[in-house]
Amino acid sequence: MSVLVNKDSKVIIQGFTGSEGTFHAGQMIEYGTNVVGGVTPGKGGQTHLDRPVFNMVSEAVENVGANTSMIFVPPAFAGDAIMEAATAGIQVIICITEGIPTKDMITVKEFISDKDCTLVGPNCPGVITPGEAKCGIMPGFVFKAGKIGIVSKSGTLTYEAADQVVKAGLGISTAIGIGGDPIIGTTTKEAVELLMNDPETEGIIMIGEIGGQLEADAAKWVKANGTKPVVGFIAGQTAPAGRTMGHAGAIVGGADDTAEAKMKIMSECGIHVVASPAQIGSKMAELMS
């Protein structure tokens, strides 16, 4: 069992023939991900990395049964790429692109609200189900199959947490990098909910950062509905108030947006909060023993 992606996912790459798309598609194929083709307007009919290239996502759905899309399209065109994938019937859309204008994402969010699809990202590392499908830019070798799900706003902390979990002998069911932009497809709460409902996931790691309400919303949901242990960490504990820290969404707008406030809310909701990322793996191992 897995969440969002698995060995049966039929993955296409939007922006397939560009440098980023080519590199990461190659890495995904090497990992064993079922990449069935890609889309680059104007290059339909060609072959790239021994896979067919299509002009439109709808052609990839029709010809190779694509149901999952990875988007490596420049920021100015990425919003349209997401909407094209949703219109074509792609079920899981993972947008890696960083720097999409916020106004474009407002349009995208509204557009896909009534579509039967799940958007992960943008500005995210992607989703990986170890041993089955790597749909993203994460280093696949860090992730080994197991029973712990990871939800994270931070790419590098996703890899750090996975490494610790693997070294603790637990392994990962699915890791979801939700992205750090102000407007994203899948929220922390929604990702935690997916893992909480996955029978193969026995514990969840939730990594957040300063800014916004995503972690507080997720914590309240866990308090009301949680059935599995959750370990939490908030990055940015020493960040100056009001300063954006790396991610566009990591700006403290009010008293509840600080790391301290988030950690307090999470603790009150029964999440096992650690003060340092170095404690994530050991805390989860302790809870699972």
Task: Give 54's contacts (C-beta < 8 A, 6+ positions apart).
Answer: 12, 37, 38, 39, 44, 60, 63
Q: Could you give the angle at which helices 102-112 and 75-88 cross, rounded to 10 degrees?
A: 0
Question: What is the β-pairing status of strands 68-71 and 126-129?
Answer: unpaired
Inter-residue contact 191 to 176 (CB < 8 Å): yes
Inter-residue contact 89 to 114 (CB < 8 Å): no
Q: In the chain, where are the structural domains located?
A: 11-120, 138-288
Fold for domain 138-288?
Answer: Rossmann fold (3.40.50)
- For residues 258 and 234, the model is more confident at 234
* CATH 3.40.50.2300 assigned to 11-120: no
In this prediction, residues 219-244 reach a mean pLDDT of 88
Residue 248's pLDDT is 63
Considering 24, 48, 247, 272, which one is annotated as catalytic?
247
> pLDDT-based confidence at 245, cuts 50/70/90?
low
272 is catalytic: no
Residue 221 has pLDDT above 70, yes or no: yes
> pLDDT-based confidence at 224, cuts 50/70/90?
very high
Taking only the tens place, the pLDDT of each residue in 140-186 is 999 999 999 999 999 999 999 999 999 999 999 999 999 989 999 99
Residue 236's pLDDT is 85
DSSP state of 240: P
Note whether 11-120 and 138-288 share their fold: yes
> pLDDT-based confidence at 69, cuts 50/70/90?
very high
**Distance between CA atoms of residues 287 and 289, nearest Å:** 6
Residue 257 has pLDDT above 90, yes or no: no
**Distance between CA atoms of residues 141 and 32, nearest Å:** 12
Cis peptide before 240 (omega within 30 of 0): no
Taking only the tens place, the pLDDT of each residue in 107-133 is 999 999 999 999 999 999 999 999 999
Q: Strands (DSSP E) along the chain, which ranges? A: 11-14, 35-39, 47-48, 51-54, 68-71, 92-95, 118-120, 126-129, 133-136, 145-152, 172-177, 203-209, 230-235, 272-273
Residue 244's pLDDT is 57
Taking only the tens place, the pLDDT of each residue in 2-46 is 799 999 999 999 999 999 999 999 999 999 999 999 999 999 999
Inter-residue contact 162 to 172 (CB < 8 Å): yes
pTM for this entry: 0.95
